[in-house]
C-alpha cells in the first residue's frame, strides 16, 4: 500500500535492535484518516469473503481494528492480556510467549463474544515474531469459529512471524512488509 509505505519512510524512526517507531501516526498518536484508507485496503484484499467479526489484541491493535470493523460493518473484539493464573468464568484462553518483552502472558476472550457461527478476520498493527497472532489463532480454533485470514499493517519481514503463518496456509495480508532497515542511513527496504 503505497501511501502507507510513503508515510513509514517519511515519519518512521529506526531504533536500536531493529525497532521501527511509528508513534506519530500508528500506535501512539493515530492518524484516523490514514486508518480509514487502511480499512478500505483490507476490504479490497478480503473482497468476497464473509466476515462476521474482527479480532485483535490489546493494546495497540485496538485503534486500527475499530476503524477496520467499521469498514466491514461488524463488531470488533479484543483479546485481553492478563497475568492472572486462575481465570474464572467462561473464557477461551491461551499463553503467548513474547520474545520482544521476554515474558509469558495469558490472553483471554469471553465465550460470549466468539463462537462456531463466527467468521473471523484478525487485525493487528505490527507483526514481528508473530506470537500474539498465533495465540489469537489458537483462540479462534478453540471457539470453533472459522479463521478467514489476518490483516497486518506493518510486517517485519526479516522476523519469522509472517512467513510462518503463510506456510500454515493462513490468508495473510500485510500492507507494508519491511525487508530491512538501516539505523545509520535511515534507509528502509520494502518487500
Is residue 127 a contact point for ligand G4P (CB under 6 A)? yes
- 42-71 residues in contact with ligand G4P (CB under 6 A) are 57, 59-61
Is residue 60 a contact point for Na ion (CB under 5 A)? yes
Is residue 174 a contact point for ligand G4P (CB under 6 A)? no
- Distance (Å, rounded) from C-alpha 18 to C-alpha 33? 27
- Distance (Å, rounded) from C-alpha 179 to C-alpha 191? 5
**Can you tell me which of 29, 95, 100, 180 binds ligand G4P, judged by CB under 6 A?**
100
- Distance (Å, rounded) from C-alpha 18 to C-alpha 184? 11
Mind giving me the DSSP string for 152-168? EEEEETTSSHHHHHHHT
- Distance (Å, rounded) from C-alpha 41 to C-alpha 169? 21
CB 144 within 8 A of CB 114: no
Question: What cell was used for 172?
Answer: 495473510
Is residue 125 a contact point for ligand G4P (CB under 6 A)? yes
The torsion region of residue 89 among left (phi > 0), alpha (psi -120 to 50) and beta comes to: left
- Distance (Å, rounded) from C-alpha 133 to C-alpha 122? 8
128 is in an annotated binding site: yes
Q: Which residue has the cell 498465533?
A: 134
**Can you tell me which of 1, 4, 8, 20 binds ligand G4P, judged by CB under 6 A?**
20
**Taking the complex as a whole, how short is the minimal distance between the CB of residue 1 and Na ion, in angstroms?**
18
State the binding partner of 189 from ligand G4P, Na ion, none, CB within 5 to 8 A by kind. none
State which residue, 53 or 131, has the beta carbon closest to ligand G4P: 131
Task: Identify which range of 85-93, 109-117, 127-135, 182-190 contacts ligand G4P by CB under 6 A.
Answer: 127-135
59 is in an annotated binding site: no
Given the rule CB under 5 A, which residues bind Na ion? 60-61, 124-125
List, as residue ranges, the binding site for 5-phospho-alpha-D-ribose 1-diphosphate.
Answer: 128-132
Given the rule CB under 6 A, which residues bind ligand G4P? 19-22, 27, 57, 59-61, 98-101, 125-132, 156, 161
Amino acid at each position: 500500500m503505497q501511501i502507507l509505505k510513503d508515510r513509514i519512510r517519511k515519519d518512521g524512526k529506526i531504533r536500536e535492535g531493529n525497532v521501527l517507531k511509528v508513534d506519530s501516526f500508528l500506535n501512539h498518536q493515530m492518524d484516523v484518516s490514514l486508518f480509514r484508507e487502511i480499512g478500505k485496503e483490507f476490504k479490497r484484499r478480503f473482497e468476497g469473503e464473509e466476515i462476521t467479526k474482527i479480532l485483535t489484541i490489546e493494546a495497540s491493535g485496538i485503534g486500527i481494528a475499530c476503524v477496520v470493523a467499521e469498514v466491514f460493518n461488524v463488531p470488533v473484539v479484543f483479546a485481553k492480556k492478563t497475568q492472572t493464573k486462575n481465570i474464572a468464568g467462561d473464557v477461551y484462553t491461551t499463553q503467548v510467549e513474547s520474545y520482544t518483552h521476554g515474558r509469558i502472558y495469558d490472553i483471554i476472550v469471553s465465550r460470549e463474544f466468539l463462537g462456531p457461527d463466527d467468521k473471523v478476520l484478525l487485525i493487528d498493527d505490527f507483526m514481528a515474531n508473530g506470537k500474539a497472532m498465533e495465540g489469537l489463532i489458537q483462540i479462534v480454533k478453540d471457539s470453533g469459529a472459522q479463521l478467514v485470514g489476518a490483516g497486518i499493517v506493518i510486517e517485519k519481514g526479516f522476523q519469522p512471524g509472517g512467513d510462518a503463518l503463510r506456510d500454515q496456509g493462513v490468508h495473510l495480508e500485510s500492507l507494508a512488509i519491511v525487508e530491512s532497515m538501516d539505523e545509520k542511513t535511515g534507509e528502509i527496504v520494502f518487500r
